[in-house]
Amino acid sequence: MEIFDDETLEDLQLGGLRLIQKKSGFRFGADAVLLADFAKDIASEKMLDLCTGSAIIPILLSAKSKTSEIFGLEIQKSVFDVAVRSVLLNNLENRVFLTLGDVKNATEIYGKRKFDLITCNPPYMQKGSGIQNPTSEKVISRHEILCTLEDVIRVSSVLLKHKGHLAIVHKPSRLADIIYYMRSYDLEPKRIRFIHKSPKSEPSLVLVDAVFKGGKELRIMPPLYLYNDDGSETTELKEVYGR
C-alpha cells in the first residue's frame, strides 16, 4: 500500500493495526480512542460508526470487539478515500465496510432497525462559531456544518434495533442538549462518563451510552483522568492505548 508524501502512517499499537492520515488534514484524537474503548464491551453483531472520518473507530473496534460486521459512514470524499485505503492496509475489507454519504440520508442507505450499536464522534462546535473556511476538512469535522448533534441522534433512533445502543463522545457543555435530544427520540441515557485531563481539571469530554426504548436508569461512571498531576499518563489511559 503506497503512502503519499502528504500522509503519515500511524501505528495504533493494537494487533499490528495501522492508520493512514493526512499530515495537514483533520487527524484523530484521544476522543475517538476513548469512544472506541467505551463501546468495546457493548455486544453487537452489526454496528455503524457515523461521521467515521479516518475510520479510526471501526478499525480499533475490529480488534477490541467481536462484532462481525462494522460499517462506517463519511461525507467528505477526500477523507473517505484515505479511510478506505486504511481498511485495505489492515486487510479488513471483509469485516469493515465504508460508505460515502450523508448522515441525514443514512436511513435510505442502510434501512431501518439494522444495527445493534451506533458510535459517533460528531462535530463539537455549533454552526457559525468561529468558522474560517467552511469547506476545509478540519472545519467540517469540527463544526456542525453538514450535520448537527440532533441529526446524529434522530437518525440513530431510526437505524437502531430495539434495545440497540448509541455511544457518543462530546463536550460536557452540550450534555443537556445530548440528553434532551436522546429522550426526544426514544433513546434513554444509561451510562455517562466524564473525561478529565488531570484530577484537578474540569471535564473536557463526556461519553454517553444510550439505549433505544430503554428503561429509565442512569449510571454515572467514575471519572477517567488522562494525566497525573506530574503530567505523566495515568495507568488507565495507558490501558486504553494498550501501552
CA distances, 212 to each of 34, 160, 181, 232 (Å): 22, 7, 12, 39
pLDDT at 27: 83
Please check whether residue 2 lies inside any domain of the structure: no
**Strands 69-74 and 46-50, bridge-based pairing:** parallel
| The amino acid at 106 | A
Surface-to-core class of residue 107, CB atoms within 10 Å of its CB (0-12 exposed, 13-18 middle, 19+ buried)? middle
pLDDT at 142: 60
pLDDT in tens, 113-157: 999 999 999 986 666 655 555 556 555 556 556 789 999 999 999
Please check whether residue 163 lies inside any domain of the structure: yes
pLDDT in tens, 2-53: 788 899 999 998 989 999 998 887 788 899 999 999 999 999 999 999 999 9
Q: Using an 8 Å Cβ cutoff, are 154 and 185 in contact?
A: yes
Q: What is the mean pLDDT of the chain?
A: 92
CA nearest neighbour of 29 among 50, 4, 56: 56
Of the chain, the percentage scoring pLDDT greater than 90 comes to 81
Residue 129 C-alpha cell reads as 462559531
Please check whether residue 177 lies inside any domain of the structure: yes
Split into its structural domains, the chain has a count of 1
Residue 111 C-alpha cell reads as 434501512
Please check whether residue 24 lies inside any domain of the structure: yes
Please check whether residue 93 lies inside any domain of the structure: yes
> Mapping DSSP to helix (H, G, I), strand (E, B) and coil, where does residue 154 land?
helix
The three state secondary structure string of 182-234 is HHHCCEEEEEEEEEECCCCCCEEEEEEEEEECCCCCCEECCCEECECCCCCEC
DSSP structure class, residue 126:
P
Please check whether residue 1 lies inside any domain of the structure: no
DSSP structure class, residue 97:
E
> Mapping DSSP to helix (H, G, I), strand (E, B) and coil, where does residue 161 land?
strand
In CATH, what number is assigned to the domain containing residue 69?
3.40.50.150
Residue 138 C-alpha cell reads as 478540519
N residues, the chain: 243
Domain containing 210: what range? 7-241
The whole-model pTM stands at: 0.93
Within 10 Å of residue 194's Cβ, how many Cβ atoms?
A: 18
> Mapping DSSP to helix (H, G, I), strand (E, B) and coil, where does residue 50 land?
strand
CA nearest neighbour of 59 among 26, 93, 31, 8: 93
Please check whether residue 94 lies inside any domain of the structure: yes
